[in-house]
């Protein structure tokens, strides 16, 4: 594709804005509170949470892990459509997707580590003779760890190398070139694994609730849970990426690229339809559709989840609407909320405990959960300012290069390996 007639031509670094903006400070404070409380939790038990034997899983597992990693499946969703199905337009937003995925996942796993009651025994993850291969939770733990540590991190290496290359001296750059070459060679194989693994654990996240049997309301309890969770991961992945792209454009006053966003919306709506079709088939075949029409809160939840995903998908069927910023933005939010609701509900809202009891997280618990989210947000903001992860124009890139090179202690104006066309610099 010729890059020159699109707004988003390559990924750039948002260096112009100061780091300590209002959102950064807001989420930063939440992150600090959350981390502090987490450190405190390491010295106490879990008594301060709202969890009980009736609701043994609180927001950390069910929300930060089971729900937010769906939003963190942008790397999977954009990657599969881009590298496997060949949607070339999506390449330019790949890094945004990968960076946000890494942050959602690592903060999710942080929440998971804080949530377990006996964290000193986590080393058993590395002792194969103690693995229960039939356990969905084991699969989630092992697979997510392997994914984040080995593959998702690997996928995020290019942007780090690129930055190091830009600010490094000649000697360093030579070394980095060698590494870059190696990374490039390994990348296809690593990427394939980076799609298989999340397919495994995102579906296993769904499997987690199957064993609870009759404790999960029939509208949600199904052997199809793994498949539905997996499709929903794609849906939420797209929704999250769209939202992040548009929100960051709004926050940092950057132009949009509607064809790219339109494509993302299109794929979001396709996967959303796939979800709706699978869900409808499941509910009808299992014969529980009558539950959806009883006057209960369960029915309300059921319809809310489905409509929040279906209505935007229908709207985005129209190519014109896909090119309309406001519609795409709103659609991404509604879809994300619907996806969050679907992933969260079977774990808590539709989970009937042994007694008529209620789970509601305590303040400290909520602050910690928000803290992990805050950590992801501030790290994303910081990363956007330090590395080239958001899409921009070639001019943005050139401006940045000038900014970096003018800061170069050696006073270099050209960077080895790059040629700057003077015409392109003034093209807007």
- Given candidates 32, 35, 54, 292, which one binds other proteins under the rule CB under 8 A? 54
Minimum CB separation of residue 321 from other proteins in Å reads 7
What residues from 97 to 116 belong to the interface with other proteins (CB under 8 A)? 115-116
Q: Is 44 in the site for other proteins (CB under 8 A)?
A: yes
Q: Is 337 in the site for other proteins (CB under 8 A)?
A: yes
Q: Is 237 in the site for other proteins (CB under 8 A)?
A: no
Instruction: Give the Cα separation of 308 and 268 in Å (integer).
Output: 13
x/- mask, other proteins, residues 301-320, rule CB under 8 A, reads x------------------x
Q: Is 289 in the site for other proteins (CB under 8 A)?
A: no
Q: Is 417 in the site for other proteins (CB under 8 A)?
A: yes
Q: Is 356 in the site for other proteins (CB under 8 A)?
A: yes
What residues from 169 to 228 belong to the interface with other proteins (CB under 8 A)? 183-184, 187-189, 191-193, 195-196, 199-200, 203-204, 207-215, 217, 223, 226
What residues from 61 to 80 belong to the interface with other proteins (CB under 8 A)? none
Q: Is 133 in the site for other proteins (CB under 8 A)?
A: yes
Q: Is 295 in the site for other proteins (CB under 8 A)?
A: no
Q: Is 388 in the site for other proteins (CB under 8 A)?
A: yes
x/- mask, other proteins, residues 241-260, rule CB under 8 A, reads -----xx-xx--xxxxxx--
Q: Is 293 in the site for other proteins (CB under 8 A)?
A: no
Stretches 99-107, 231-239, 275-283, 346-354: which one binds other proteins (CB under 8 A)? Answer: 346-354
Q: Is 53 in the site for other proteins (CB under 8 A)?
A: yes
Instruction: Give the Cα separation of 304 and 299 in Å (integer).
Output: 8
End-to-end distance of the chain based on CA atoms, in angstroms?
18
Closer to other proteins by Cβ: residue 84 or 290: 84
Question: With contacts defined by CB under 8 A, how many residues of the chain interact with other proteins?
Answer: 119
């Amino acid at each position: 594709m010729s890059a020159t007639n699109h707004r988003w031509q390559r990924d750039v670094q948002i260096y112009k804005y100061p780091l300590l903006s209002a959102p950064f400070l807001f989420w930063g404070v939440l992150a600090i509170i959350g981390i502090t409380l987490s450190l405190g939790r390491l010295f106490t038990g879990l008594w301060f949470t709202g969890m009980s034997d009736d609701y043994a899983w609180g927001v950390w597992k069910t929300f930060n892990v089971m729900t937010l990693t769906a939003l963190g499946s942008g790397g999977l969703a954009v990657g599969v459509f881009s590298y496997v199905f060949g949607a070339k337009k999506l390449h330019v937003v790949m890094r945004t997707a990968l960076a946000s995925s890494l942050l959602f996942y690592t903060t999710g796993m942080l929440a998971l580590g804080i949530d377990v009651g006996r964290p000193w025994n986590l080393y058993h993850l590395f002792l194969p003779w103690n693995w229960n291969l039939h356990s969905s939770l084991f699969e989630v733990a092992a697979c997510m760890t392997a994914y984040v540590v080995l593959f998702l991190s690997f996928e995020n290496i290019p942007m780090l190398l690129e930055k190091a290359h830009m600010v490094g001296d000649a000697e360093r750059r030579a070394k980095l070139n060698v590494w870059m070459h190696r990374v490039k060679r390994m990348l296809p194989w690593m990427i394939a694994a980076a799609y298989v693994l999340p397919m495994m654990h995102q579906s296993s996240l769904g499997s987690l609730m199957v064993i609870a049997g009759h404790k999960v309301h029939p509208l949600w309890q199904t052997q199809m849970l793994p498949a539905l969770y997996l499709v929903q991961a794609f849906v939420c992945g797209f929704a999250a990426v769209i939202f992040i792209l548009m929100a960051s454009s709004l926050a940092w006053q950057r132009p949009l690229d509607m064809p790219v966003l339109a494509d993302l919306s299109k794929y979001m709506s396709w996967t959303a339809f796939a979800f709706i079709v699978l869900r409808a088939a499941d509910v009808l075949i299992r014969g529980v559709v009558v539950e959806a029409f009883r006057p209960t809160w369960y029915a309300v939840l059921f319809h809310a989840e489905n409509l929040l995903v279906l209505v935007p998908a229908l709207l985005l069927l129209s190519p014109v609407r896909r090119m309309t910023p406001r519609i795409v933005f709103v659609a991404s939010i509604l879809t994300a909320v619907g996806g969050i609701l679907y992933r969260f509900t079977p774990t808590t809202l539709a989970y009937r405990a042994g007694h008529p009891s209620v789970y509601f997280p305590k303040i400290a618990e909520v602050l910690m959960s928000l803290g992990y989210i805050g950590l992801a947000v501030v790290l994303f903001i910081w990363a956007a300012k330090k590395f080239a992860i958001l899409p921009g124009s070639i001019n943005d890139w050139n401006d940045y290069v000038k900014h970096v090179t003018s800061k170069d202690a050696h006073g270099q104006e050209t960077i080895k390996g790059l040629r700057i066309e003077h015409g392109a610099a003034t093209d807007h």
